[in-house]
Amino acid sequence: MPRLFVAIRPPEIVRDVLHDAMEGIDAARWQSDEQLHLTLRFVGDVDVPLANDLAAELARVKAAPFPLQIKGVGHFEKKGRIHTAWAGVVAEPELLDLQRRVERACRTVGIAPETRKFTPHVTLARLNSSSGQIGDWLAAHGALEAQPFIVREMALYESTLGREGSHYQPVVTYPL
């Protein structure tokens, strides 16, 4: 059963800026280069017929290329425990529109609606109870900024869990 998500992959020059910020939190599990992406919609485990329906529906999503920029850092927490450190992505209207269209495609094929608010970001590190404090890292990288880039495509990715974490493979790429 494939585990899927829809995402935008930043270009190498932007990923290089992200890599430069990926240090300074003890025991953090930093993302590999192949894992750096902006998730438009996490789908999860679906059966193959539904995955095929989603792939076909995503091909119907129309959007023009648009500029995007990495700016700032932040974190996610649950029940008071920080679990993710991320680089922010400016919430351009075109990005928000594309995300809504992807969400609509998911619902059209019968995938349950996303209940979490869309927060545009690129995950940099996963944290757990043994990870160090994040405050100094947030302060040191608060002004993180990469040059704007043009989003020309999105992709449907499959995530496979391995010994060193998740491996992400684009299954279908959709030009904008």
Q: Which sequence positions are flagged as catalytic?
A: 37, 121
> Beta partners for 30?
125
What's the rounded Cα separation, in Å, for the pair 100 and 30? 29
Whether the CA torsion 56, 62, 63, 64 is positive or negative: it is positive
3-class secondary-structure state, position 104: helix
End-to-end CA gap in the chain: 28
Burial of 136-174, coded b for 16+ CB within 10 Å and e otherwise, reads ebbeebeebebeeeebeebbbbbbeeeeeeeebebebeb
Q: What is the dihedral of CA 95, 100, 101, 103, to 10 degrees?
A: 130
